[in-house]
């Protein structure tokens, strides 16, 4: 299966317009944003756990990175409320689920195979002032990628031209970019060499942004 698999192209997806697709586990559905592969895939998705549902125990062969968007995600290591950012690198394992139900944004098989840096963060607790109208938090950085969230006041502008491509998910509020209006749940991917030029709308915006990683496109064998 291939979905938005041409990484030389700009892609914008309003995830709330996609139909929920069933996963192999009853009560766990997903909206696929990009994907290369079958059930074991390099993938970026929005995943919804119905209350009381879980996924079978598994090991992360290619790593797993996720944000809890709604509800509380759970596994044997603890509870992860909305606003939590998690990195589970290759070789880690767990049995994920949610008693109250949850929605997460998740990326699979996109880690350095040697990465062993496992952690969780409350994204809001990491925020600090960047400049007028902007607050930001550095969530993760290594030789391959940089991951941040940005809080933008109404009308604030954000310009990012770092190498290696860019990916953004609007978490709260909305913004405009290249003439397009992005709202909560909108996902944008810009190829290598294309800069982000965004302006927060009247509600302001909170945006998760990853840069640099599109130089490293690997897929499960």
Per-residue pLDDT in tens (0 to 9) along the chain, 221 residues:
999 999 999 999 999 999 999 999 999 999 999 999 988 889 999 999 999 998 888 888 899 999 999 999 999 999 999 999 999 999 999 999 999 999 999 999 999 889 999 999 999 998 998 888 999 999 999 999 999 999 999 999 999 999 999 999 999 999 999 999 999 999 999 999 999 999 999 999 999 999 999 988 777 76
The pLDDT of residue 169: 98
Q: What is the residue range of 172's domain?
A: 126-215
Please return the burial class of 158, using the count of CB atoms within 10 Å of its CB with bins 0-12, 13-18 and 19+: buried
The answer to whether position 46 is within a domain reads: yes
Which CATH number fits the domain that encloses residue 37? 2.60.120.10
The answer to whether position 10 is within a domain reads: no
Asked whether the beta carbons of 52 and 81 are under 8 A apart, the reply is no
Place of tokens 């915006």: 205
Place of tokens 């509600």: 203
Sign of CA dihedral 54, 77, 123, 117: negative
3-state SS assignment for residue 63: coil
The answer to whether position 9 is within a domain reads: no
Same domain as 180, residue 107: no
Asked whether the beta carbons of 51 and 99 are under 8 A apart, the reply is yes
The pLDDT of residue 63: 92
3-state SS assignment for residue 25: coil
How far is residue 9 from each of residues 100, 167, 216, measured CA to CA in Å? 38, 12, 15
The answer to whether position 151 is within a domain reads: yes
Total structural domains in the chain?
2
The pLDDT of residue 221: 65
The answer to whether position 146 is within a domain reads: yes
Asked whether the beta carbons of 166 and 198 are under 8 A apart, the reply is no
């Amino acid at each position: 299966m291939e979905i938005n698999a041409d990484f030389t192209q700009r892609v914008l997806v309003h995830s709330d317009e996609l139909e929920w697709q069933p996963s192999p586990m009853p009560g766990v559905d997903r909206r696929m944003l990009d994907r290369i592969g079958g059930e074991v895939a390099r993938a970026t998705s929005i995943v919804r756990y119905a209350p009381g549902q879980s996924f079978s125990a598994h090991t992360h062969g290619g790593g797993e990175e996720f944000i809890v968007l709604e509800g509380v995600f759970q596994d044997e290591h603890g509870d992860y409320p909305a606003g939590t950012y998690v990195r589970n690198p290759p070789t880690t394992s767990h049995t994920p689920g949610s008693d109250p139900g949850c929605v997460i944004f998740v990326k699979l098989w996109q880690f350095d195979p040697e990465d062993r840096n496992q952690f969780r963060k409350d994204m809001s607790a990491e925020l600090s002032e960047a400049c007028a109208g902007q607050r930001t938090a550095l969530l993760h950085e290594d030789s391959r990628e940089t991951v941040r969230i940005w809080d933008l006041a109404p009308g604030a502008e954000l310009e990012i031209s770092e190498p290696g491509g860019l990916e953004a998910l609007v978490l709260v509020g909305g913004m405009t970019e290249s003439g397009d209006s992005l709202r909560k749940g909108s996902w944008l991917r810009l190829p290598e060499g294309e800069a982000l030029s965004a302006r927060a709308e009247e509600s302001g915006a909170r945006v998760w942004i990853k840069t640099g990683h599109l130089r490293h496109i690997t897929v499960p064998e």
